[in-house]
Structures are given as structure tokens and as C-alpha cells.
Amino acid sequence: MCCLAIGGVGGSGTRLLAELLSECGFFIGGSLNPASDNLWFTFFLRRPDWVSKFPSDAEIVQALQVYFRCMQRTTGMSSTHDDDDYINSVLDKWRQHSSFDSRWEPVGRTLLSASKMRTEGQRWAWKEPNTHVFLPWLNQFSPDLKYLHVVRNGFDMAFSQNQNQLYAWGPYFGVSDVPASPIESRSLDFWIAANKRAIEFGETMGERFKLLRYEDMVNEPSRIVPEIMAFAGITIDPSIVNKTVKSIAPSSVGRHRSRHSGIFTEDQIQRVTNLGYQARFSDMDF
């Protein structure tokens, strides 16, 4: 297997999967945030200049080429001058943007150095929610890539504090960026469009695509965790399964039940239902 990637709309609960892979010996990146997102992927593919203007096919492929080479490097292996030039050019793009903060300097340094690379023979994978945005290009660039897409109740997600993907990619997915529209309604539109696209494309990938419902992981972890490990090609280790199962908590599941349904249209509710989730708002009859 080349590698395994994990993505989903931000806030879907992908962190546990990255921690599981790391526990099983996978290299998941040389620069991670507290949510175990691979910041190398973020650095290359969620660049501020790309958020304001979606990149061309050639730009995406170039970024993936350098990203994959960085992930495949092993400790002590030097990067090429061309890759270093590209990394520095991307870092300059970050520096020039108003959203730049100091964390991107050390991310760039880990890419330019060979100090935080994988060890020889170590399997590698990554988790970064925005991965789903680039799934068609990833599949073309790496035809043996496995992708695990996490989906979580869209009604719960609409009331999440994490709306970063909506702000970054909403117009690309046909979602209005008009501030007058309720943020929860726009968030649900993004959830519908993003997951529909990922699932439909995933169907073309056959067995290299796995759809995981966050709620299933919360409610049936003893069944789901071994399934994830099998998909990743990991030999089942009961101690790791038990440790992961114990770390899964059902926090915020069903949070939309205390809200009212009036903020959403019947069409939105039906579209979420079509993706496997039922509305359970406080003002609805069951």
C-alpha cells in the first residue's frame, strides 16, 4: 500500500483515527497540531492564496508531488534544491497573507530539514480534514491511495464552532458566502455538498475507499476500530483496540436536538436524510 489518507468536513472526529495509526507505528507527518492534523498537507494545500482563488490542476499536482516526496523521505535524507525552492516560495505566500502567524515558520523548517522524517521502512499515512477537497487529484496522482472519509450528523455539524472549511471552500462547493445568510444554514449546505461529492467519488475508488460514520465509531467502537485497522492493513492488536475504544467519548453527539428546525428548509432536511441522517430537533414530532 502506498499510503492511507483520512479526511472529512472539519469537526467530524478524525483525530482518533490519526492517533490510532500513530499508535500502530505509522508515520503521520513531521509537524502536527493538537488535533493530529498533518500540517505539511495544510501548508501545501490549504494555502491562503488558494482559498481566495482555487488553484489550477497543474498547481495542485505540483504541490502533491512535493508533499509526497516530503512524506516519503527518511531521516537524514536531503531534499532537492527544487523542492527547497518550492517550499520557500509557499512559505513566502503564507508570510504575505494577513492570516499569517508564526506557527508556519517552524512547519516550513521541518520540511526543509531532515530531522522529523519517517524511519526506513516505516509505513506512512496522514490525517487532515481538507484532504477530501483534493481527493480527485490525489486519486489520479496516487492510484493505489486508500482514503477513509469520516462523516458526522450534518445537523450537529451545522451548530459546530468549527466552520473553517465553509469559509475556505464554500464558494467552490457552490455555497453562498453572503454574511446575511444564517451561518448554520450555509454550514449545512456545505456539509451536504462536500460529503455528497466525496461519497460519489469514493464509489469510483472501489475497495480503496471507506466511509465511516462518526456515530458508529462512538456507539460500536469494538466493531468499528478493528474494521479501520483491517482497512489500513494493520494486524489487529487487542491492546491497541482496547486503548482506542476506551478513548472514544460521545461528546456533542445529538447536540442539534435542543435546537429548532425552522432555520433549515425542507429541502435541506431531505438532503441530509438522503445521506443517512434523521432530524431530531426539539420542535419535531417523533
Task: Write down all domains in the chain, each with its CATH number in brackets.
Answer: 4-248 (3.40.50)
| For residue 88, pLDDT beyond 50 | yes
- Bridge partners for 151 per DSSP: 213
C-alpha separations of 92 from 55, 59, 95, 104, 110 in Å: 17, 16, 5, 10, 15
Residue 282 near residue 258 (C-beta atoms within 8 A): yes
CA angle 222, 224, 225 (to 5 degrees): 75
Inter-axis angle of helices 221-231 and 15-23, nearest 10: 60
Evaluate whether 19 touches 36 at the Cβ level (below 8 Å). yes
Cα 78 from Cα 70, distance rounded (Å): 10
Where residue 99 falls among pLDDT bands split at 50, 70, 90? Answer: low
Residue 33 pLDDT class (50, 70, 90 cuts): very high
Range among 77-86, 140-149, 231-240 rated most confident: 140-149
Cβ neighbours of residue 102 closer than 8 Å, sequence gap 6 or more: none
Residue 286 scores a pLDDT above 60: no
Task: Over range 151-160, report the average pLDDT.
Answer: 90
Q: Which amino acid is at 129?
A: P
Going by pLDDT thresholds of 50, 70 and 90, the confidence category of residue 77 is confident
Looking at residue 51, what is its pLDDT? 85
Please check the confidence at residue 285 and state whether its pLDDT lies above 70: no
Question: What was the pLDDT predicted at 8?
Answer: 96
How many CB atoms neighbour CB 50 within 10 A? 19
233-279: per-residue pLDDT in tens?
A: 988 888 888 888 777 766 667 677 667 777 898 999 999 999 988 87
**Average per-residue pLDDT in the chain?**
89
Instruction: Indicate the pLDDT class of residue 1, thresholds 50, 70 and 90.
Output: very low
- Name which residue leads in pLDDT, 48 or 255: 48
Which of 34-38, 224-228, 251-255 has the weakest average pLDDT? 251-255
H-run or E-run covering 87: helix 81-96
**How large is the average pLDDT for residues 172-180?**
80
Predicted local distance difference test score (pLDDT) of residue 249:
67
CA dist., res. 150 & res. 143, Å (int): 21
User: In a 3-state reduction of DSSP, which class is residue 29?
Assistant: coil
* Segment 36-50 mean pLDDT: 94
The backbone torsions φ and ψ at residue 43, rounded to the nearest 5 degrees and listed phi first, read -55, -45
Answer yes or no: is pLDDT of 117 > 70: yes
